[in-house]
A and B are shown apart, each in its own frame.
Chain A
Amino acid sequence: MRGPLKLQPKMKSKSVPLQEGYNFAYLDEGTKRMIRRTLLKAIAIPGHQIPFGSREMPLPLGWGTGGIQITAALIGPDDILKVIDQGADDTTNAISIKKLFVKTTGVQITERTEKATLIQTRHRIPETPLKEGQVIIYQVPIPEPLRFLEPREPETRKMHALADYGLMYVKLYEDISTHGRIATAFMYPVLVHHRYIASPSPIPRFDNPKMDRMPALQLFGAGREKRIYAIPPYTTVKSLDFEDYPFEIEKWDQQCALCGSRESYLDEIIKDDQGGRLFVCSDTDYCQQRREKGKNASPSEVVAMKAVRRKKGDETT
């Protein structure tokens, strides 16, 4: 075996010096090759989960180790990385993952969706539509969509092999008979390329339609469960439903209290102990960009947004 690889001087070192004693992007080259081969097969069989040798990472399992390992196998010195956690660029999980890659690769970090070449995400797809050439990497806790219905791995594997998905439809039907509608709000199962049922990871079902024929490459990594799967660009992704109960996304009566958006996925924030609440965009970059645009916008838009802020009792921004 080769000795530890020295970091090459041609890598851009930004303000943070690269951590010594680690390979570029933390993983060793053998592991990267194994993940790379798995990724190629995953793309060739859209939606099919492939076992891989998931490694110990410097973060605990459940903190996005699957996504991190895929990112580490892809990332190069010229990449621009964006990491989001529930749509936010500045929460703990996103910050720690970004720090890991800055320390071990020196890559450029961005919060702007359209500038990123790699986007690692926990539980959201950005509101800004993704373009061809971008890669979105999902952190997946439970890759098997049938797991809650059938706990035995050999059985679920057989169901995928035979495309025997009756059980999943029974579950959705039971939802309707109990709640009058399909009550699954997140991790809403999808049928990929008319063949495999896959879990879109716990994204809200609001994001499901964005997966269908997305121009960007979608990769899914589950570190604890040791599975990788993928959806190539322009692939048909159908959210399961019934003719008389078609798939629907969530809707809000409110709009974002900060940017006034009516199209984006909103988080509810409790303001005080008097029952005061606020709805804001979950995608912080989208919200920020809209607010920046609002500053330079035509007077009527500014007036409208100020009115919104007054109504929500939030003049701080």
Chain B
Amino acid sequence: MEMLTSSNLLPGFSDPVIDSQSTFRHVLQAMSHPGRVISFETSIQAPPPLYSTTAAICLTLLDPETPLWMDRSEVCEVREWLRFHCGCSWVDSPSRANFGLLTQGFQECLIDQFPIGEEEFPERSATLLIQVMGFRSGAGRFLKGPGIKTEERLEIEGVPETFWKAWKRNQRLYPLGIDIFFISPSALVGLPRTVEVRE
């Protein structure tokens, strides 16, 4: 493994307190208004393949208490960067992860492996951060549920049909299930387990 040196490590937030606070408010907004495209920008320089937006969300939510599973864990820069700035521990299996970081978009073989919580502790489920190309609101599928006034329409670029089938399975588990944040280079969309999707 490449040694960690100060020369190849990118910096984190310039102001950790205020930047993580403002990032969190975007994340909170996305979670409380599912399906709504929350645009947000950050000046952070992220190690590829992380988007700067994903990097900001990682810095805001991850720390030594959150075991992380990532799809491209062989990318040394990302590992070192997250380890240095968040101090998070890595797990080899999605089933033990608290957070899942999917930098290459949705992969169906993975989705059923993350923890969905327990009957008495439904909150012990994974939160997935999935990187996608972009969003189109006002087109695509219809979303309904808490946080949505009447109905929200959303199309996620680069997410295959199989995702929505997997989401139906997840929806049936309620109150268990995973929660997802889709992250594009300039925006994010929250998809908590309560969201019902219709074509």
Contact = CB atoms under 8 A, between A and B. Distances in A.
B194 A76 contact: no
Contact of B28 (A39, A45, A160): A39
A41 interface: yes
A235 B33 CA distance: 11
Given A233-B32, A234-B149, A40 B179 contact: yes
B120 A235 contact: no
Interface in B120-160: 120, 122-123, 125, 127, 146-149
A8 B146 contact: no
B20 interface: yes
Interface in A43-93: 43-46, 48, 50, 73-77
B175 A48 contact: yes
Nearest to A117: B25
B123 A41 contact: yes
Contacts, number: 111
Contacts of B147: 43, 232-235
Q: Give the interface size class of chain B.
A: 35 or more
Contacts of B1: none
B15 interface: yes
Interface stretch (A22-30, A183-191, A290-298): A22-30
Interface residues of A, number: 46
B61 A43 contact: no
B54 interface: no
Interface string B160-199: 0000000000000011000100000000000011100000
A193 interface: yes
Contact of B18 (A43, A77, A196, A235): A77
Contacts of A39: 28
A227 to B, nearest CB: 11
Contacts of A29: 16-17, 20
Contacts of B18: 8, 10-11, 24, 76-77
Contacts of B193: 44-45
Given A76-B25, A232-B194, 8 more contacts: A5-B16, A10-B15, A38-B123, A41-B125, A43-B32, A74-B24, A76-B18, A232-B32
